[in-house]
């Protein structure tokens, strides 16, 4: 089974990475250090997670210890929506590089196709709690991101939370110089995204799945939300392989040739989530896991649903 995905620009992205979203300040540094010790080399970061400077401390510490070299790491970060104006893109990337204490990123993603009003607030909202958009076009933002590749700040660029139509718009852009290398999307058995994943892969765009475990600790999740980790069918498959439900859900994505970034700050789980290369799900098990009728999008960004570039209208 592949342990890496080949990117169009020539990079190799480890198929399994550590997600760092919701890794609160204090926990992120220890989580990243432990993950590197366990063998993780792909780290998924973002300005919006507000923990990049701690992750930077962890990376520097591990490199100083000689545990890992910069070339062995694959570090991803993302351009947040308040920086979509062309004039803000380079500075946003520089801030991320400074926080992570790195000279370059392996992959820099547009965190989502929607531009928000520029300023200090991550989620600038109006009186009704709806996001205030910027009058930017993600095609212009992309051109500014292409320039980051030209100057060596990033090795590759990609997108996140883009739907099929938006990817087609980007691919059809006149004068496109760098194709998106990756689309990072929410995916798990309650949101398998079969069509979008097949579409991206057919276009030579790698896919990364976030929330692969169904985000059990999502801030707004209600007690009546069935946790994927407690789903009887997932548990049954896990039992059969003598694995945990989380390991089964991670393995599911790997077997779809999708990169996967489970988030944890618990050492035991970080280690457990990495032990997914010693078993294989059968075709029937894959079919079961991708055939659930329940549909649930965790990261629906409902406060943005009036935005001209809201990506989830097809749900």
Over the stretch 155-203, which tens digit does the pLDDT of each residue have?
Answer: 999 999 999 999 999 999 999 999 999 999 999 999 999 999 999 999 9
The phi and psi torsions of 119 (rounded to 5 degrees) equal: 145, -175
pLDDT in tens, 258-292: 999 999 999 999 999 999 999 999 999 999 999 99
17 in Cβ contact with 40 (< 8 Å): yes
- Does the annotation count 104 as an active-site position? no
β partners of residue 52: none
Check pLDDT > 60 for residue 4: yes
Residue 217 pLDDT? 63
pLDDT category of residue 213 using cuts at 50, 70 and 90:
very high
272 in Cβ contact with 244 (< 8 Å): yes
- In terms of Cα–Cα distance, which of 185, 183, 180 is closest to 156? 180
pTM of the model: 0.96
User: Higher model confidence: residue 186 or residue 215?
Assistant: 186
Share of the chain above pLDDT 90, in %: 90
Determine which one of 49, 108, 190, 310 is catalytic: 49
């Amino acid at each position: 089974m592949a342990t890496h995905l080949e990117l169009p620009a020539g990079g190799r992205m480890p198929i399994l990475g550590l997600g760092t979203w919701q890794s609160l300040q204090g926990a992120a540094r220890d989580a990243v250090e432990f993950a590197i010790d366990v063998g993780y080399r792909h780290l998924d970061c973002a300005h919006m997670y507000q923990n990049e400077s701690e992750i930077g401390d962890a990376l520097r510490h591990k490199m100083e210890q000689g545990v890992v070299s910069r070339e062995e790491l694959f570090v991803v970060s993302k351009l947040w929506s308040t920086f979509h104006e062309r004039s803000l893109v380079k500075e946003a990337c520089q801030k991320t590089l400074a926080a992570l204490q790195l000279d370059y990123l392996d992959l820099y993603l547009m965190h989502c196709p929607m531009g928000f009003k520029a300023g200090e607030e991550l989620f600038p909202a109006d009186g009704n709690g709806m996001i205030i958009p910027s009058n930017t076009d993600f095609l212009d933002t992309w051109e500014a991101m292409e320039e980051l590749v030209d100057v060596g700040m990033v090795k590759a660029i990609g997108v996140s939370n883009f739907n099929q139509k938006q990817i087609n718009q980007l691919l059809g852009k006149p004068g496109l110089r760098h194709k998106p290398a990756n689309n990072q999307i929410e995916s798990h058995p309650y949101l398998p995204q079969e069509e979008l994943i097949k579409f991206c892969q057919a276009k030579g765009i790698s896919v990364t799945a976030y929330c692969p475990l169904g985000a059990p600790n999502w801030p707004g999740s209600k007690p009546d939300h069935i946790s994927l980790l407690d789903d009887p069918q997932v548990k049954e498959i896990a039992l059969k392989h003598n694995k945990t439900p989380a390991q089964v859900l991670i393995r599911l994505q790997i077997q779809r040739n999708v990169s996967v970034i489970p988030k944890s700050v618990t050492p035991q789980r970080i280690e457990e989530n990495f032990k997914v290369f010693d078993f294989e799900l059968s075709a029937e098990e894959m079919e079961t896991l991708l055939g659930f009728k329940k549909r649930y999008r965790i990261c629906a960004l409902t406060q943005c649903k009036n935005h001209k570039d809201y990506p989830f209208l097809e749900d």
